[in-house]
């Protein structure tokens, strides 16, 4: 089993309220869930109008499939309307398989 998590720090320049921020983020979160079957959540900057952090978790049976999914997820977020990607951080879960 192979697993990874990605954190996207986003800037939403046109947002003037939390409601507008949620309207910009919702299509990204829903699109990632439905298109790539990954776990997604807004994980930071919950009370800021123009900032957002989204966490994405992916589990796969092979490293190559995991890398393909992560590349597609990053491309999807990079191309999302109304947001600018400030930073992307990947974390890999290492399992030793000794159980």
Q: What is the CATH number of the domain that holds 49?
A: 3.30.70.1120
For the entire predicted model, the pTM comes to 0.86
Q: Give the C-alpha separation, 45 to 39, whole Å.
A: 19
Q: How far apart are CA 34 and CA 52, in angstroms?
A: 20
Give me the sheet containing 51-60, strands edge to edge: 39-44, 51-60, 2-11, 84-93
65 within domain boundaries: yes
Per-residue model confidence as pLDDT tens digits over 34-75:
999 999 999 999 899 999 999 999 998 888 999 999 999 999
Residue-range definition of the domain harbouring residue 35: 2-93
Residue 60 lies in a domain: yes
Exposed / middle / buried, residue 8 (Cβ in 10 Å: 0-12, 13-18, 19+): buried
Report how far residue 54's alpha carbon sits from residue 50's, in angstroms, rounded to the nearest whole number.
13
| Domain-located, residue 98 | no
């Amino acid at each position: 089993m192979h697993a990874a998590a990605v954190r996207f720090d986003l800037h939403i320049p046109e947002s003037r309220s939390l409601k507008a921020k949620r309207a910009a983020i919702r299509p990204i979160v829903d699109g990632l869930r439905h298109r790539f079957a990954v776990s997604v959540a807004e994980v930071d900057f919950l009370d800021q109008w123009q900032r957002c952090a989204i966490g994405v978790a992916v589990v796969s049976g092979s490293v190559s499939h995991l890398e393909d999914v992560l590349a597609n997820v990053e491309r999807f977020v990079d191309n999302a309307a109304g947001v600018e990607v400030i930073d992307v951080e990947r974390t890999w879960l290492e399992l030793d398989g000794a159980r």
